[in-house]
Amino acid sequence: MASGNPLLRSSNFEGLAIGGERMTVNGTIGKTAIMLILVCVSAGWTWLRFDAALAVGGKDAAAAAMAAVAPFLMGGLIAGLVLALVSVFAKRFIAITAPLYAIAEGFVVGGISAIFDLSYPGVVVTAVALTFGVMAVMLFLYRSRIIKVTDKLRMGIVAATGGIMLVYVINMVMGFFGSQIGLINSASPLGIGFSLLVVGIAAFNLLIDFDMIERGAASGAPRNMEWYGAFGLTVTLVWLYIEILSLLGKLQRR
């Protein structure tokens, strides 16, 4: 069965040579912490550039601030995509590509967060707190087996995640023609409901990610796969954070 997160599918941990040091859950947790720190450091650096441009003041201060972080935001998106592909298809380099991916994602997260905070002061702190709160709750539900990761749950989350990704891809393509799916950015009850649904799907991906990491450790995967598990989990957490940020922005607009 596959994880909802395509980066953490069980097939990625299968067929790996067993020998030497093996993957552990604690080792994956440690590497996840390292990656999240890297995300926060590069995000903070990007945000500081935004604030510095904003502090100059003037009539177009906001536009200047956005222009200051735009290269890092776009560069982070492109670099993150390239590094993600390398991480997936060339796992032997994962110990290098995973931390670099975290830095690239930090540029994106920092730019998006600064822009949201300009429009909705204080929303970023709330989004960060909610993201880690959701992670803690889902970890508790997983460890206590209140919610069991069954085959049906995995398939349901895979299908739901694929559906959401398809909607986003369609919206991106429509954007090239000056249009978009209004539900994604709308602050209407339906738009808020859509964001709640996506946040829920992202949260349930955490459950399946925890299970895949545990399975990888139990199967005797090589030690470097700790970086792969941390990489996949970081992808889910960043996605969850951005979706929560979007939801809070919609609620503020209402």
Question: Highest mean pLDDT range out of 53-67, 101-115, 179-193, 209-223?
Answer: 101-115
Total Cβ atoms within 10 A of residue 215: 17
Task: Tell me the two tokens of residue 103.
Answer: 């830095």
With b for 16 or more beta-carbon neighbours within 10 A and e for fewer, the 22-56 pattern comes to bbbeebbeebbebbbebbeebbeebbebbeebbee
- Mean pLDDT for 55-84 is 87
Q: Show Cβ contacts of residue 228 under 8 Å, excluding neighbours closer than 6 positions.
A: 7, 12, 13, 87, 91, 94, 98
Is the separation of the CB atoms in 230 and 167 below 8 Å? no
Task: Tell me the two tokens of residue 191.
Answer: 């738009």
- Alpha helix segments (H runs only) across 120-224: 123-143, 151-175, 182-185, 189-218
Domains of the chain by residue range: 24-253
Is the separation of the CB atoms in 178 and 112 below 8 Å? no
- Mean pLDDT for 5-9 is 53
Write down the pLDDT at residue 17: 47
Is the separation of the CB atoms in 222 and 185 below 8 Å? no
- Mean pLDDT for 125-148 is 95
pLDDT of 13 > 60? The answer is no
- Mean pLDDT for 141-152 is 91
Task: Tell me the two tokens of residue 90.
Answer: 């060339």
Write down the pLDDT at residue 59: 62
Q: Sorting pLDDT into bands at 50, 70 and 90, what band is 53?
A: confident
User: pTM (2 decimals)?
Assistant: 0.89
